[in-house]
Chain A
Amino acid sequence: MSSSKSPRFQNLLVYLLLLSPLAAFATQPEEVQSWLEKMQRAAHTVNYEGTFVYGQQGHLSSMRIIHRVTPEGEEQERLISMDGTGREVIRDGGKVTCFLPDSNAVVVEKSRKLKQFPPEFPMKIDELKDYYTFSLMGDSRVAGHVTQGIKILPKDPYRYGHHLWVEKKTGLLLKTHLLDEDNKQIEQFVFTQVSFLDQVPDDKLAPAMDTQQFTWYESKDKIDNADETEPDFNVVWLPGGFKQDMKRMQKMPTGGMPVKHMVFSDGLSSVSIFIEEDVQHDPANLMGGSRMGAINAHGRHLGDYHVTVVGEVPHVTVQKICEAISSPDQ
């Protein structure tokens, strides 16, 4: 007995030695975490005005943005398209107004109530390190400001990678690249000019167009109650780290059948599953895959139901999830 103890003690030492690289890793994720938290806070608390370029699927568009936070913590934002017909979106707290000169229309929609600040940071690097590699890049300049670069790369083919450039003083996100499974950029966003402001005058947040001839549309509130009598569907496969965020029943704005909506997320990207009754196999339901920039969708029949999966993840992910849904009576 006692003779076997000393090798075992050695084993323990080896084990401790193996753990020591963990300690070396530990400082970096914390640093990345605090940068990401700073970035998220800044997105909702900093007053700024700037011009950025947004590109996806080979299209580039240039936009101007003005962002203000009231002393009560309410966010106000005006986004103006610099090309095309000059669409504008103005967000004032929970109200979003969309000015569409190309259709002579103004669309007003209420959003969910904003909760108090500071927001809880949803992403925990500790929980994500099995699925992503986080690293800090060197400093570089974006629109004349010094930024901290952050690289977030997936360890499996089920999610996208992110390159982020965060302004060092304020934490505002000044540039992003979204990378697909082949490391190709599928979405880019970069500020070409940005200034941080103490005060933002009201007129900067007013629409620049004459809306007298426009038709105003106001959308109805959505039904948000989950109907517990609906059968439960099983999702038997999800990428690692994906957990359920939300479940609800709702009517789509286009009317029709109530839709079961579930959201799953790993903290960096999310996937929605929509299930509705479809005994007649309505041809308006998506069959197979479809994509919109970084967002992929996949649909199929499931008995008397139709399933559509939508998410800012590679197509293989929405497809696998879609195929992994089984109805309760199976």
Chain B
Amino acid sequence: MTNKIDEQLSILVDDELVEHDSVLDQVTTDPQLQARWSRYHLMRDVITGHMPEQPLGDIAGRVSLALEKEPAILAPVHKRKRARKPLPFILKQAGGLAIAATVSAVAVLTVQHTQDETSNTATKIAAVQPATQPQTPSQSSSQVRYVTDTSGLDTAVQSKLSGYLVNHNEYSVTGNMQGVLPYMRIVSETPGKRVVVRRANEQQ
């Protein structure tokens, strides 16, 4: 049965099958057959040279992709489902970088696209520029704040972005892979910039 449908599928791809309704029915209902169907098409395209703009490497990649999608033969469905786990290691490992990242983030975060000649792409959707008047967020929390006293960015924007950067760095995969990198971003001091650490309720 399988051989027969395979053969019919193959003929169908080549447009040589006269009575093809039943095969088409099966193809539309059977995902496995659909996969094979597209694979046959890909093979046909490759063989007949109908993919001229694709370099050979990509064809091979597409073929192998198509093969991977063939669940019964090469890649059991359950395996593909759990092929990628969330990156648990990052979550634990990168955790310690917050402080470091904070310090460096505040110290270096001064170049804003909207203020230099590369601004074109950056400002496309940014009709509103950051406020020019620094705004001091009012709050009574006694949590630690990191603020820099020199900046090309509005202080309030910079401070807020630094918080985002810290949080991003904690989950960044680069740190996980290369170990030391996020730390250098910390300790590295940009000349001429001084990081001010103060309590939020000590401001003004």
Q: How far is the CA of A164 from the CA of B200 in the complex (A)?
A: 41
Whether B113 lies near A290 (C-beta < 8 A) is yes
Q: A107-B99, A254-B160, A316-B121 are in contact. Are A122 and B89 (CB under 8 A)?
A: yes
Q: How far is the CA of A288 from the CA of B125 in the complex (A)?
A: 7
Residues in A whose Cβ lies below 8 Å from that of B191: 59, 84
Q: How large is the interface on A (under 10, 10 to 19, 20 to 34, 35 or more residues)?
A: 35 or more
Q: A79-B184, A319-B121 are in contact. Are A115 and B103 (CB under 8 A)?
A: no
Contact of A120 among B63, B85, B97 (CB under 8 A): B85
Distance between A181 CB and nearest chain B CB, rounded to angstroms: 12
Mark the stretch among A137-145, A202-210, A225-233, A291-299 that contacts chain B: A291-299
Distance between B148 CB and nearest chain A CB, rounded to angstroms: 11
Asked if B178 is at the interface (CB within 8 A of a chain A CB), the reply is: yes
Contact of B179 among A173, A220, A267 (CB under 8 A): A173
Residues in B whose Cβ lies below 8 Å from that of A102: 189, 194-195
Asked if A169 is at the interface (CB within 8 A of a chain B CB), the reply is: no
Distance between B195 CB and nearest chain A CB, rounded to angstroms: 6
Asked if A4 is at the interface (CB within 8 A of a chain B CB), the reply is: yes
Q: Hey, what's the 0/1 contact readout for B59-72 against A, CB within 8 Å counting as 1?
A: 11101100000000
Q: Hey, what's the 0/1 contact readout for A65-104 against B, CB within 8 Å counting as 1?
A: 1010000000001011101110111010011111010110
Q: How far is the CA of A113 from the CA of B96 in the complex (A)?
A: 9
Distance between B132 CB and nearest chain A CB, rounded to angstroms: 9
Whether A81 lies near B189 (C-beta < 8 A) is yes
Asked if A151 is at the interface (CB within 8 A of a chain B CB), the reply is: no
Within B53-96, the residues touching A (CB, 8 Å) are: 56-57, 59-61, 63-64, 83-96
Residues in B whose Cβ lies below 8 Å from that of A105: 197
Whether A43 lies near B180 (C-beta < 8 A) is yes
Whether B98 lies near A103 (C-beta < 8 A) is no
Q: How large is the interface on B (under 10, 10 to 19, 20 to 34, 35 or more residues)?
A: 35 or more
Asked if A235 is at the interface (CB within 8 A of a chain B CB), the reply is: no
Q: A102-B194, A103-B196, A127-B84 are in contact. Are A270 and B108 (CB under 8 A)?
A: no
Distance between B127 CB and nearest chain A CB, rounded to angstroms: 8
Residues in A whose Cβ lies below 8 Å from that of B174: 268-270, 312
Whether B95 lies near A243 (C-beta < 8 A) is no
Whether A288 lies near B186 (C-beta < 8 A) is no
Asked if B109 is at the interface (CB within 8 A of a chain A CB), the reply is: yes
Q: In chain A, what residue has the closest Cβ to B85? A: A120
Contact of A267 among B141, B164, B173, B184 (CB under 8 A): B173
Whether B111 lies near A292 (C-beta < 8 A) is yes
Q: How far is the CA of A129 from the CA of B128 in the complex (A)?
A: 40
Asked if B24 is at the interface (CB within 8 A of a chain A CB), the reply is: no
Distance between A164 CB and nearest chain B CB, rounded to angstroms: 8
Whether B160 lies near A265 (C-beta < 8 A) is no
Q: How far is the CA of A30 from the CA of B180 in the complex (A)?
A: 25
Q: Hey, what's the 0/1 contact readout for A31-53 against B, CB within 8 Å counting as 1?
A: 00000100110111000000010
Q: Total number of A-B contacts with CB less than 8 angstroms?
A: 336
Q: How far is the CA of A164 from the CA of B166 in the complex (A)?
A: 25
Whether A113 lies near B92 (C-beta < 8 A) is yes
Whether B93 lies near A219 (C-beta < 8 A) is no
Distance between B114 CB and nearest chain A CB, rounded to angstroms: 5
Q: A100-B103, A252-B163, A300-B126 are in contact. Are A269 and B113 (CB under 8 A)?
A: no
Asked if A304 is at the interface (CB within 8 A of a chain B CB), the reply is: no
Contact of A40 among B131, B156, B177, B190 (CB under 8 A): B177
Q: A18-B63, A91-B96 are in contact. Are A284 and B156 (CB under 8 A)?
A: yes
Contact of A63 among B43, B187, B196 (CB under 8 A): B187
Whether B99 lies near A89 (C-beta < 8 A) is yes
Q: How far is the CA of A36 from the CA of B92 in the complex (A)?
A: 19
Whether A21 lies near B56 (C-beta < 8 A) is yes
Whether A283 lies near B180 (C-beta < 8 A) is no
Residues in B whose Cβ lies below 8 Å from that of A269: 172-174
Residues in B whose Cβ lies below 8 Å from that of A115: 88-89, 92
Whether A290 lies near B112 (C-beta < 8 A) is yes
Whether A80 lies near B187 (C-beta < 8 A) is yes
Whether B173 lies near A268 (C-beta < 8 A) is yes
Q: How far is the CA of A301 from the CA of B129 in the complex (A)?
A: 12
Q: Hey, what's the 0/1 contact readout for A241-272 against B, CB within 8 Å counting as 1?
A: 00111100010111110000101010111101
Whether A270 lies near B161 (C-beta < 8 A) is no
Q: How far is the CA of A79 from the CA of B47 in the complex (A)?
A: 58
Whether A85 lies near B95 (C-beta < 8 A) is no
Whether A19 lies near B60 (C-beta < 8 A) is yes
